[in-house]
Structure 1
């Protein structure tokens, strides 16, 4: 069963006939917090304003918003403030939010109880007045999936941020009502269909590119570590400096360094090929998807292989080579000498994966025979992973390495809603009034939730 995610707004409006804990009156305030069924807190403790000298307090602007996932119980504890000693307990209520899902705004009075629910309180502690409104996020799946992800496709040219792409990646891989492969297919199809020259595919930042790159980085660490780290560590330990720029080293030194650099390029190709069994099936499925979409558009197997290979190296493998610390492959950044060598290696590998020779960088022109000679090696690797039949239907991939805690998923859902709300002028004329209203309402809830941090209870 799909877990229900959403936000609940609880307004504490007042109370009546509460216990007089200061002789004939009280100075009541409330603490409010959500907990799961095991009594484990799922939110901070928030505190209302203290209302002085009354048994029938009325609160204003005391709205609290909580993230809801699975089953949550709201605990509201009322205390009488005591400026000299410990505050006195006045009563509590436990609200099971499952009872209020999708029921709109509910205005209710609930009797205050003692601390032990198994022992009914003999004291009449009064009642608390609440308004509860639960907003489910299940409908978000419906809107985002509708008409082959039309909303996201409409926004794909306006929302090209890493945060939005990452949020979509986690949302679509953690929701049974959605599918990450499907969203990648639909927005990538749009990009490919709008591309005339296959040589520029995936060269500019796009939402589809960012989602795929975020996915590769999130699930491909073991492959990168296995394929690249031993060579990179060896180069760092030996302080490998292989400059080929003749403005910086002699012609003879450049030629000697070029020979060694060719050796390292070959070593990386060998290591990458040997580590292909570590490449996650999900990455292979995405490569296969790209291959098939490009083949459908341009009717050329070689064009598909070049495009997929160029993408894989430009966006995933080569960045890990010249910036291994950013991918967590090593702890500290390489020194400038090794960084320069790794950068040169990545440039040569990129030309091989693109199946093009060097034309602009004169100091790399001497690598063209080697580059041409290795076209087939990388082409075969890319063809293998792009056409391999994975023994599992694509729709069944659940991306286990992308599964996250519900509270983290809620942050990504907030990012999606806020991002769409910021761009509503680009889609509002093409979507339903219901969707527009939901996005606006939820965005307001998110903003209100951020502002309530000032109400977090600090220990007395």
Structure 2
């Protein structure tokens, strides 16, 4: 199996040559509009959005390609420009290309580099560079039954405690995704997450930092929340995020950014409060019918790691097609700051004094926020969950196996240093799969 992930492409080092043949005096927005096509072995696979009137466009789009043959040789990104024609129409003209050999990618798990752009015809380099972030993996996928014992090990507390420690920080999100997809396909994702949460709670002395770190349990909770709550997120946030995207006026309230223009600040505060109040009402109204630490723990999972990131980056959560403008981005930042403080049940203070006027809103909504969190904690008996998505268990198991094999020496050392814990079943399962790879 071959995976290629085009994480990001943007042109900022040198402007692309504007080659448009627009009619004199025309203000057609297609002039200077660029997009990229992703090509694998001369077959077009994906297209970015078009960025209008840009000589240094930023796309920031991600694509994942799976199940391509091992014969794949070349990844190419072709940059196109919408050109204005003399007849009043437009045409898509290739400006240049960047080609990456799969052999180059195979030498490293990730590839991040500014790549010179070649002319499509002459292969000479032109005035511009393209930044690519690529991840590549080539997996040997065994029959799912070959991974049975490995998957069974993930239900053992000793194994989960070990993985929570031994999985490198940069690999924890990826590992959590593989584990959750495997268990989700079996209808047991909640059991896996529950086991990881119990380990996280038992190993944490300060409850205020529960699920706010970079542990495997925290990453699993993040991924599980996205699996089960994405529909809720879209229902609650998309309407207000759309309003903010469509608003061309600023909500800036930092006086250092407004030259102390009090009239403008008053108008901006009115708009910002309007957006924030609407978001709070939407979140509370979606639900129909202890101690503060209880609220901050749930808030840390649901709001700080799910709602707030979605407000800051709606495109990442598939709520909006493109990245926000600078003005919209700043509005989203201010709304997110407010929701974060409200979910933490704390007021703004000396760190950001310009936000202190928002404390009136926070104080008046503290009980409403607790009410939302209470209802998030409700469980319904016999509630039917949506059916699990179609998941290729074999691929997920193969990728999880590779993550664990890469830390094999560390697992052995962990077993030797922690005699009271038994991860021998995991080591045996990994060894059996390795034997099958070589002799099966």
Shorter-chain TM range is: 0.5 to 0.7
SS of the equivalent of 1:368 reads helix
Partner residue of 1:151 out of 155, 159, 163? 159
Correspondences of 1:23-422 after superposition (within 5 Å): 67-69=142-144, 136-146=146-156, 149-159=157-167, 160=169, 161-175=172-186, 179-249=188-258, 250-252=260-262, 253-276=264-287, 300-359=290-349, 360-386=351-377, 388-392=378-382, 400=387, 402-405=388-391, 408-422=392-406
Mean Cα deviation higher: 429-438 or 188-197: 429-438
Distance (whole Å) between structure 2 residues aligned to residue 447 and residue 227 of structure 1:
51
SS of the equivalent of 1:220 reads helix
Q: 1:316 to 1:446 in 2, by over 3 A?
A: farther
Q: 1:211 to 1:46 in 2, by over 3 A?
A: closer
Q: Which has the larger radius of gyration?
A: 1
Q: 1:45 to 1:210 in 2, by over 3 A?
A: closer
Mean Cα deviation higher: 182-191 or 374-383: 182-191
Q: Of Structure 1 and Structure 2, which has the larger fraction of its residues in helix? A: 1
Q: 1:446 to 1:301 in 2, by over 3 A?
A: farther
Distance (whole Å) between structure 2 residues aligned to residue 436 and residue 208 of structure 1:
21
Question: Is the 8 Å Cα contact of residues 307 and 354 (structure 1) preserved in structure 2?
Answer: no
Distance (whole Å) between structure 2 residues aligned to residue 366 and residue 44 of structure 1:
55
| Unmatched runs of 5 consecutive residues or more in structure 1 | 1-42, 48-63, 70-134, 278-299, 450-460
Q: 1:221 to 1:66 in 2, by over 3 A?
A: closer
* 1:163 Cα deviation after fit: 1.0
Distance (whole Å) between structure 2 residues aligned to residue 44 and residue 264 of structure 1:
45
Alpha-carbon displacement from aligned partner over 1:288-334 (angstroms, at most 9, x marks no partner): xxxxxxxxxxxx43311222023211111111111101100011111
Distance (whole Å) between structure 2 residues aligned to residue 420 and residue 376 of structure 1:
45
Alpha-carbon displacement from aligned partner over 1:130-187 (angstroms, at most 9, x marks no partner): xxxxx622222332223xx3212212023242110100111122236xx322222222
Distance (whole Å) between structure 2 residues aligned to residue 255 and residue 68 of structure 1:
64
Alpha-carbon displacement from aligned partner over 1:169-218 (angstroms, at most 9, x marks no partner): 11122236xx3222222221222223233222222222111111112223
Mean Cα deviation higher: 323-332 or 217-226: 217-226
Distance (whole Å) between structure 2 residues aligned to residue 328 and residue 448 of structure 1:
44
Question: Is the 8 Å Cα contact of residues 173 and 398 (structure 1) preserved in structure 2?
Answer: no
Question: Is the 8 Å Cα contact of residues 146 and 433 (structure 2) preserved in structure 1?
Answer: no
Q: Provide the alpha-carbon RMSD of the alignment.
A: 3.0
Distance (whole Å) between structure 1 residues aligned to residue 166 and residue 297 of structure 2:
24
Question: Is the 8 Å Cα contact of residues 251 and 269 (structure 2) preserved in structure 1?
Answer: yes
Distance (whole Å) between structure 1 residues aligned to residue 423 and residue 205 of structure 2:
33
| Unmatched runs of 5 consecutive residues or more in structure 2 | 1-66, 72-138, 416-420
Alpha-carbon displacement from aligned partner over 1:343-393 (angstroms, at most 9, x marks no partner): 11011011111101112112212211221111111110111121x231228
Question: Is the 8 Å Cα contact of residues 421 and 440 (structure 1) preserved in structure 2?
Answer: no
Distance (whole Å) between structure 1 residues aligned to residue 215 and residue 429 of structure 2:
27
Distance (whole Å) between structure 2 residues aligned to residue 324 and residue 354 of structure 1:
22
* Corresponding position of 1:95: none
Distance (whole Å) between structure 1 residues aligned to residue 147 and residue 143 of structure 2:
10
Distance (whole Å) between structure 1 residues aligned to residue 317 and residue 69 of structure 2:
37
Distance (whole Å) between structure 2 residues aligned to residue 447 and residue 228 of structure 1:
50
| TM-score when normalising by structure 1 | 0.58
* 1:446 Cα deviation after fit: 6.1
Q: 1:242 to 1:446 in 2, by over 3 A?
A: farther
Question: Is the 8 Å Cα contact of residues 324 and 330 (structure 1) preserved in structure 2?
Answer: yes
* Corresponding position of 2:38: none
